[in-house]
Structure 1
Amino acid sequence: MKLSLAAAIGLIALSTIEAVKVNPIPAPVTLQWGKSGPVKFDNNFRIVGPKNAILSKAISRTTKLIKKERWTPATWEEPIPVFKPFPTLSKRADEDEVEDEVEDKVVANTNGGGRVVRTINVEVANLNAELQAGVDETYTLDISSNGKGTIKAKTVWGALHGLTTLEQIVISDGRRGLHIEQPVKIADGPKFAHRGVMLDTARNFYPVKDILRQIDGLAWSKLNVFHWHITDNQS
């Protein structure tokens, strides 16, 4: 009884871990998840890049956000995990005992077998390109099974998108730690050069915190133009 129950719960737990539950938005041009298992992030991981005021501030924001939020996806990508049946009173004691054993195995699995990311290196070919129509915003993000992480871009603006993607795929491991669910290779770039939103505060009142939240949302969606309608004759 216990053996079959443990096996069932173990398979469920491992299948849940192996399934990728989160993908970056918008969908990258190319996205390749590995299959070797989770890659753990050191709690004191660093992001290192060339000297540039905009890039340095972005690196600081990304590092703080990942370490602070430690977020867990609220829903799953396909395939949807299969959960065990709701327990009956007669089986509860046996299942509690088995779950303790499974939990230890699951935690060991999520540790990634010693694969730990301690540094993400950001490489930018041109640090002086201005944010104008037609600027190159492409980037690649590669986190390998051995814990090596790199973001490469031709301009600072592409590197910013790479950092945003990193924020989206590093999640909580459920034990106060961080990991990505599988090694990953991403190559991405915008489909349209102009990607913007207009916010009309001339005719509509928005608290400052809501405006800032809107800007954060634009960044997470990798938009590049914020059209702020602040004043007109009516206001």
Structure 2
Amino acid sequence: MARVLVVEDEPAIAELIAIHLRHAGFEVALAAAADQAQAAITAALPDLVLLDWMLPGGASGLDLVRRWRADIRSRELPVILLTARAQEQDKIAGLDAGADDYLVKPFSPGELLARMRAVLRRRAPLASDAVVEVAGLALDPTTRRVRRGDTECRLGPTEFKLLHYLLTYPEHVHSRAQLLDRVWGDHVFIEERTVDVHIKRLREALLPLHCAQLIETVRGVGYRFTLSAPPV
């Protein structure tokens, strides 16, 4: 039974979400503020967090996501942001902060459950544990380390899976829809722009290894990991 922490300051909304989740077979814990959510995470990591953007007190949902992503213990904690903010820049801000998905209020219980199942599937590790090495860049699924020569970089869980997939099929051009299928696992409710956000984050993380340019944008199609740097 998957354990879900619902962080929502509106008691009626929190309880309604909890009822639907329990009916679907999830174990549910509730937190109404940022400090309660942090205390719950410190006590025991859940399998997934449903996190309201706007919370009472000093910290927002985005602040919590950033804090959890900066902590090695909670770095891979699946988080879905719940918010009334529907603008594209808000969605991008939520994804950039480290959220796995973004759900705009009001939403149906069916969509919420589908998104939760999708996030939990996406968080499952890729099948192979073999080290992948392409163009001097080595990725070890077992230790979750990425290095080139003596230099190592840290990747978020989604960027790690994305790089793993690109390295597994070097020089292959992948559309955004294909990447959503293969890396995210289920893209029914996810916009293709999500891929662009994570590609940008992946390139930034690879800068110290001097191989960010090997992730090539194929105009009008998608992305590929190339064996030689594209022309500037």
Please give the range of the TM-score, normalised by the shorter of the 2 chains. Answer: under 0.3
TM-score by length of 1: 0.23
Structure having the higher helix fraction is 2
- The structure whose RCO (Cα within 8 Å, separation 6+) is larger is 1
